[in-house]
Amino acid sequence: MTATVDDRSGGTPPPTRHPRAARARRSRKGALTPWMMLAPGIVLFAVFMAAPIFYTLALSFQKEQVKGLGLGGDSRTREFAGLENYVATLTDPEFLASVGRVLVYGLILVPTMLGLALLFALLLDARRTGAKSFGRVSIFLPYAVPAVISSLLWGFLYLPAVSPFYWIFEQLGWDDVPSLLSPGLVTFAIANIGLWGGVGFNMIVMYTSLKAVPSDIYEAARIDGASERQIALRIKVPIIMPALIMTALFSMIATLQVFAEPTTLRPLTNSLSTTWSPLMFVYRDAFTRDDVYSAAATSIVIALATFAISFFFLRVVQRRAFGQED
C-alpha cells in the first residue's frame, strides 16, 4: 500500500501580496499620471514662454558699450546698465506720444466694439429675429480674416485714388471729403479696422452666454408683462455680465498690443510714424536701430502696464459687484 504525499503540506508557501503596499503603488502611479499628461504643455510653456520672458528681462538690464575704434577685434561689449534702459524708455517723448495715441485709439474702439457686439447678440437672441444662422456667420466672418489682409483691404478703400467710396462722393459733388488716412482721421481709420474684425468674436462670446440661460426665466418675465426691451436690459445683460467683463478685458489687452494695422497702413500714408504704437516703438528699436536692450526694456514696461491695467480693471469690477466701493 503506497502513501500519498500532499505537496501543499511541504515546501515554501506562495508569496502573499500586502494590500497596503499595492494601494501605495497604485497611489504613486495615480499621482504621477496628471504630471505625465501635463509634461508636454509644461515643457512647451517653459521653452517658448518662460525662457524668452526671462531672457528679455535679463537683456533689459544690459547695454552695449563700444570701446576703441574696433580695429583688430570686436570692440562691442555688454555691460550692466541697471535701470538706465527703463529710464530712457519712460522719458522718451516718442514713446509717451505712442502711449497717448493708443489710449485714444482704445477709447474709440473698445466701447464701440463691445456695444455693437452686445447689440448684435441681443438681436440674434430675440424671438422675432429671422435668419439667425446667416446673421451669426456674416457678423463673425470678418474675424476670420487675418489682420494684415483686412488692413490692406481697408487701406485701399481709404485711398481716394482707388476707393469706390470716393468715386461715389465725386459723383454726388462731395469733392471736399477728407481722406481717412489724413493726420486728423487716421486713428479712426485704424479703429474701424479693429472694429470690423473684433465685433464678431465678442458677439459670439456674448451670444453663447445668452444661449446658456434657461428659457424659463424669459417666459416668466413675459407672463409678468415684461417687454422684449425690458427682458434684454434687465435680465439678459445682468446675466451675461461675466462675459461682458471678459470681453472688455481681452479688448483692452488687444488694444495695448495693436501693431499689424498701423504697420500695414504705414506705406499708404505719411500720417503714421514708425513709433505710432508702443509695439511699433519696440520694433523700431530692435530691428531698425539694432538696440535690443532698449527694446527689451520697453517690452517689459508694456507687459507691466498691461498687467496693471488688467488688475485694476478687475479690482474695480469686483468692488462694484460686491458693493465695496470706497
Assign residue 178 the CATH number of its domain.
1.10.3720.10
Domain assignment of residue 128, yes or no: yes
Provide the pLDDT for residue 326.
45
Provide the pLDDT for residue 321.
61
* DSSP 8-state secondary structure symbol assigned to residue 144: G
Q: What is the pLDDT of residues 225-248, one digit of tens each?
A: 888 888 888 889 999 998 999 999
Domain assignment of residue 266, yes or no: yes
Residue with cell 511699433: 280
Domain assignment of residue 4, yes or no: no
Tally the domains of the chain: 1
Residue with cell 500519498: 4
Please list the residues that pair with 64 across neighbouring strands.
78
> For the chain, which ranges sit under pLDDT 50?
1-3, 5, 324-326
Provide the pLDDT for residue 1.
45
Q: What is the pLDDT of residues 177-224, one digit of tens each?
A: 888 888 889 999 999 999 999 999 999 999 999 988 888 888 888 888
Provide the pLDDT for residue 96.
95
Domain assignment of residue 111, yes or no: yes
Provide the pLDDT for residue 325.
46
Q: Which of these, 134, 157, 154, lies nearest to 194 by C-alpha position?
A: 154
Q: Are 216 and 302 in contact (CB under 8 A)?
A: no
Q: Are 272 and 265 in contact (CB under 8 A)?
A: yes
Domain assignment of residue 11, yes or no: no
pTM, entire model: 0.82
Domain assignment of residue 133, yes or no: yes
Counting beta carbons within 10 angstroms of the beta carbon of residue 255, is it exposed (0 to 12), middle (13 to 18) or buried (19 or more)? Answer: buried
Domain assignment of residue 66, yes or no: no
Provide the pLDDT for residue 266.
92
Domain range enclosing 183: 87-321
Domain assignment of residue 132, yes or no: yes
